[in-house]
């Protein structure tokens, strides 16, 4: 396979993967952007017991536009999953944190994503799963914004 054919095959594979992820809705129960942000907040909660993260950090981690992050934050606030808060007295930075009482609801939704991920791992196996994770991390480390 020459380089052009390899690129074409990669593009086709990428489109197929995008369609499968979109169609399987790995984030059932939340809008896609809500699920991504909640996952970041939950990951932070697992580390510090509070889940406090700045909107600036969310924007950087997700590569979403700040306006989209703000709209998504507003939506998650309205649903009662998160709240805005202050951290270290810096009023210039806007922080959000999870509402601990609502984590159980998020985790029920998140379990659906875990179930889909488990099915994918069952199909592709541990070796390919680890390779996929490694490749995605490598692209992220290279600063590649898709």
- Taking residues 110-117, report their average pLDDT: 85
> Can you give the pTM of this predicted structure?
0.77
* pLDDT score at 32: 82
Q: Give how many domains the chain has, as a whole number.
A: 1
Q: How many CB atoms lie within 10 A of CB 61?
A: 16
Higher pLDDT, 35 or 21: 35
Confidence band of 114 (pLDDT split at 50, 70, 90) = confident
Which string of DSSP letters, residue by residue, matches 111-129? Answer: HHHHHHHHHHHHHHHHHHH
Does some domain include residue 13? no
* pLDDT score at 23: 57
Does some domain include residue 51? yes
The domain of 76 spans 29-141
Does some domain include residue 5? no
Contact 55, 85 (CB under 8 A): no
- 3-state class of 18 per DSSP? helix
Contact 80, 102 (CB under 8 A): yes
Which CATH number do you get for residue 44?
Answer: 1.10.10.10
Does some domain include residue 17? no
* pLDDT score at 26: 61
* pLDDT score at 125: 94
């Amino acid at each position: 396979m020459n380089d052009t054919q390899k690129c074409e095959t990669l593009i086709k594979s990428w489109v197929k993967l995008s369609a499968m992820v979109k169609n399987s809705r790995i984030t059932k129960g939340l809008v896609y952007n809500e699920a991504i942000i909640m996952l970041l907040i939950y990951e932070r909660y697992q580390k510090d017991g509070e889940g406090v993260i700045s909107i600036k950090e969310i924007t950087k981690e997700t590569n979403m536009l700040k306006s989209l992050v703000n709209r998504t934050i507003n939506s998650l606030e309205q649903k009662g999953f998160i709240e805005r808060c202050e951290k270290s007295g810096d009023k210039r930075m806007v922080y959000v944190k999870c509402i601990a009482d609502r984590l159980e609801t998020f985790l029920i939704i998140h379990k659906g994503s875990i179930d889909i991920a488990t099915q994918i791992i069952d199909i592709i196996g541990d070796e390919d799963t680890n390779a996929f994770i490694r490749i995605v991390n490598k692209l992220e480390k290279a600063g590649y914004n898709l």
